[in-house]
Amino acid sequence: MNDDPFAADVTVIGFDGDDTLWHSEDKFASAQEWLVDLLAAYATDADALARLQQIETRNRELYGYGIKGFTLCMIETAIEVSKGDVAVSDVERLLATGREMLARPVELLAGVAETLPLLADSYRLALVTKGDLVNQESKIARSGLAGLFETVTILSEKTSDSYLELFRRLKIEPEQFVMVGNSEASDVWPVIAAQGWAVLVPYPLTSMHETGFSRDLSSPRLRTVACIDELPALVSGAGGS
Number of residues that bind Mg ion (CB under 5 A): 5
Cα–Cα distance for residue pair 7/201, rounded to 1 Å: 16
What letters, b where the CB count within 10 A reaches 16 and e where it falls short, cover 24-35?
A: bbebbeebbeeb
| Pairwise CA distance, residues 2 & 8, whole Å | 9
Residue type, 138: S
Which parts of 175-234 interact with Mg ion (CB under 5 A)? Answer: 182-183
Which residues, including other chains, have CB under 8 Å from residue 169's CB and lie 6 or more apart? 151
Q: Residue 32, interface with Mg ion (CB under 5 A)?
A: no
Measured from the CB atom, the residue of 32 and 182 that comes closer to Mg ion is 182
User: Does residue 16 belong to the site contacting Mg ion (CB under 5 A)?
Assistant: yes
CB of 93 to Mg ion, least distance (A): 27
Q: Which string of x and - marks every residue 54-93 that binds Mg ion (by CB under 5 A)?
A: ----------------------------------------
Closer CB to Mg ion, residue 1 or residue 217?
Answer: 217
**Cα–Cα distance measured from residue 71 to residue 101, given in angstroms and rounded to the nearest whole number:** 10
18 binding Mg ion? (CB under 5 A):
yes
Binding site for Mg ion (CB under 5 A): 16, 18-19, 182-183
